[in-house]
Structure 1
């Protein structure tokens, strides 16, 4: 039989987006979505068994699989078949014009023998770094695919450190019984002494002039690989397959063009540190659709390099479509950042559901990143049971879990103003519409920098049931129309601190709310409320002593 994947021809589609104008009035505009070129392969199919592979779960098939891929590519391309069986292997290197196709009852599992993974120069969290070779990788390839309905398992449990607080007592005892090393305070499990040393090494793995792979051997086990890394590839399709149990990130396309992810299952244990679903970094023309994510860190994430290294690369992630996806556990459902130093722009996200993600829509950065995130269009998003914020913009990201564990204490942010430089990040021009969330800790949170406010964020037709309402800090040009926030009345429904050009119209809130609008900060001004019956609140507004009385204007 011949195995080819579906969806092999170029497509161009258009979406009618309702976009808020800068003056908060709605303007209907037709936005052409990006053109994503699709893959196409010869019908020739070669099974890995032709080169001696055995699906017995014992034989190490690294050489057989790589020889099959190389042979098919050298002959002009085609399909490499992973048939029924449990196929144990070391790292696999993809080649141009090859479609790696997994049968439904095929499991491709990567070995837990760390010696099979050599140290290579790669990239980690937006910076050049030494890492263990990824289980699946490809560099500067064209017309490649991984398709089918089988399972690709990264054997991530062999690599990951695990926090005690994230396991049940029985799970923790079983983990200790498996071997490894426990931290001095008894709160963290490590697979090996090399992992412990790496975790205590500043900037572990970062490439330094004059050092070779041998210089990192004593921390090798700590330098966990991403399950799949594609670098500089053009025309790529990942379709139908289950990617699971990755050592670090699951899917990491870097500097790729014309990338399609369709109908994937992407899974990691919820406690998997750095267990992201997909991190699209400095890529152009991307389609992510019909896929399901249930992972240990961010679900669908957009990145473009970190700090000076990302700015020097200077390649934004742009022209991205994210549609018809479901995200279960994740730190964020759809995420941009925090490594966004090369920028991100022209991104459409629609018809997605987030179920139990720590945060729903999550946009994060921090000083030092630089980069501009702009022209982001989001609509038709449904969420339930969000432990943190349904919608979050935060320019004080601190590399911690978004929802604190029981007993965890975090210090409050100390606000200081610093000069604007190329290292100052920017969020601007977001258009978010038709959002429903049933259950969240906080409905909406904006926190910009005093020297660089979050700017021109537009939300319309949003209904959120949450314990707390809306908080706007160091933001300018926030337009909220037809927002319904259902809170528990224990705190102000809308808190504004150092916000300017805040326009809120047709706002709905629970009757009897203690305080509707709480405005503070000497920079707060031009806060305008319209089309809102403020009489249903016990107190319509509270102004800080430092706020000009004319800063808040309420009109019918």
Structure 2
């Protein structure tokens, strides 16, 4: 069954609300056992829409499905989120299967309507002394906003392909306690100043492939966590062939008590971002284990504001007791960065980490004097780093067992305004470690 939404009265004028026609088309297809709802070229303004089993929402080239810019048009969908409370969404599905959003069109989430760009999200000591250029790097201040714009819970066989999603006010694609997920060849482009505007966030999901996608996000491009079900792991995930830009981490695994296992990531390009890879177990009993990452090129820098992260290419952190990170292999990485690789454990709770074939080139960065005074382990306590003006260690490793550093080349970045800083690694309380062919380059690299 194929239904064009204009046949049911939807108007492509961008000012007439069309959710009635769109929801009717979805319901009709669902009741007949499945089908395709076609959104043709034009701009279709809409309030929230519920997606249902065996129905494909297909956006033709030139189609823009535009979410309402008015917060009063959003309602509680009936799911309570551990971090965000009552969920409000634009597109949502719960307890459904075989759902697709496909095509060459665009979903516009109207995120800027819910932001105040004249104010910073948080008050911090350096705020009053920022230049206008630095202020434009900070997080803007959200007003009331939809908190899970595209939301799936307890769904199976989810497919997103070909579409563009723009201007999210918060987490963009949010998938919870679901399985058999494929996200392929989509673009997610958000305003880089919008806090919490993750690209794809999988919570307690299993069997997911995220491949050949493009991201510009104010928060993590791809995040794996267990925020909405702390006891259910997020597992069996592949992330590959993606281009990413973010004010947080390109790829994040773990948060607080999240359980993450069996992740493969490869062939990633990370552009002008705050962090490259972030692996965290920083609650009371979180873990991340069995992770393989390879073939990554990245440039990371320190941005003004209170973003989590300070220009680190790789962070592996379990700074609280009771957590565990183990069996992590990261290889074939070229990083141009304004801060260190960080491997930061407590009481030896990070085990069996291999960094292999890594080239890292370090630059000082214009924001370092104001924003690099601590080792950023947020949301955990961030220890002071008193020598931040004269040392940028290529790695800072602490409380780790079986750390292997193999074929590492580290040096200065050519774009750094000065070279009067020490880039030698710092190591504390390591056990059974192997360092092989760790070499300082005497050449500056662009």
| TM-score bin (small chain) | 0.7 to 0.9
Question: Retained in 1: the 8 A contact 2:281–2:288?
Answer: no
Q: Which residue of 1 aligns with 2:377?
A: none
Q: Deviations over 1:209-254 (max 9, x none)?
A: xxxxxxxxxxxx36x3222010011011000111111121001110
Report the counterpart of residue 196 of structure 1 in structure 2. none
Aligned position for 2:24: 67
1:309-388 paired onto structure 2 within 5 Å: 310-311=229-230, 314-339=231-256, 341-368=257-284, 370-387=285-302, 388=311
Residue by residue, what CA displacement relative to the aligned partner does 1:377-396 show, whole Å, maximum 9, x if unpaired?
11111113544111111235
Asked if the contact 2:258/2:281 (under 8 Å) is kept, the reply is no
Q: CA deviation at 1:86?
A: 0.5
Aligned length: 391
Compute the displacement of 1:160 (Å): 3.2
**Equivalent position to 2:405, from 470, 480, 502:** 480
CA RMSD of aligned residues (A): 2.6
Taking the aligned partners of 1:279 and 1:363, their CA distance within structure 2 comes to 14
Aligned residue number for residue 444 of structure 1: 341
Match of 1:164 in 2: 119
Deviation at 1:279, TM superposition (A): 0.5
Decide which of 130, 134, 138 is 2:86's aligned counterpart. Answer: 130
Cα displacement string for residues 477-527 of structure 1 (whole angstroms, at most 9, x for unaligned residues): 111110111135722511012222221111111359xxxxxxxxxxxxxxx
- TM-score, L = length of structure 2: 0.82
State the match for 2:202 in structure 1.
280
CA distance in 2: counterparts of 1:367 and 1:253, whole angstroms: 22
- The structure number with the bigger radius of gyration is 1
Shift, 1:168, TM fit: 8.9
Q: Write the distance in 2 (CA, Å) between the matches of 1:444 and 1:489.
A: 19
Write 1 or 2 for the structure with the bigger share of strand: 2
Q: Helix, strand or coil: the match of 1:459? A: strand
CA 1:443/1:65 → structure 2, altered by over 3 Å: closer, same or farther? same
Change beyond 3 A, Cα 1:386–1:162: same
Whole-angstrom CA distance in 1 between matches of 2:200 and 2:141: 25
Q: Secondary structure at the match of 2:439?
A: coil
Partner residue of 1:435 out of 333, 336, 356: 333
Which of residues 66, 71, 78 is equivalent to 1:114?
A: 71
Question: Gaps spanning 5+ residues in structure 1: where?
Answer: 1-43, 174-186, 192-220, 397-417, 513-556
Shift of 1:87: 0.1
TM-score normalized by the length of structure 1: 0.66
Task: List per-residue Cα deviations over 1:282-322 (Å, max 9, x = no partner).
Answer: 1110000000000111111111126xxx43xx211111111
Distance of aligned partners of 1:330 and 1:492 in 2 relative to their CA distance in 1, 3 Å threshold: closer
Aligned partners of 1:121 and 1:129 also within 8 Å: no
Out of 85, 88, 91, the residue aligned to residue 48 of structure 2 is: 91
Match of 1:266 among 188, 204, 229: 188
Distance 1:509 1:254 in 2: 44
Aligned mates of 2:395, 2:118 — CA distance in 1: 32
Query: What secondary structure does 1:464 align onto?
Result: strand
Paired with 2:297 and 2:84, the residues of 1 have a C-alpha distance of 37
Secondary structure, aligned partner of 1:442? coil
Structure 2 unmatched ranges of 5 or more: 122-129, 303-310, 364-391, 413-418
Structure 1 CA distance for aligned equivalents of residues 182 and 141 of structure 2: 37
Q: Deviations over 1:184-221 (max 9, x none)?
A: xxx97554xxxxxxxxxxxxxxxxxxxxxxxxxxxxx3
Query: For residues 432-488 of structure 1, what are the alpha-carbon distances to aligned partners after superposition, in whole Å with 9 as ceiling and x for unaligned?
Result: 111111x201241111123x5321111111111114311112222111110111135
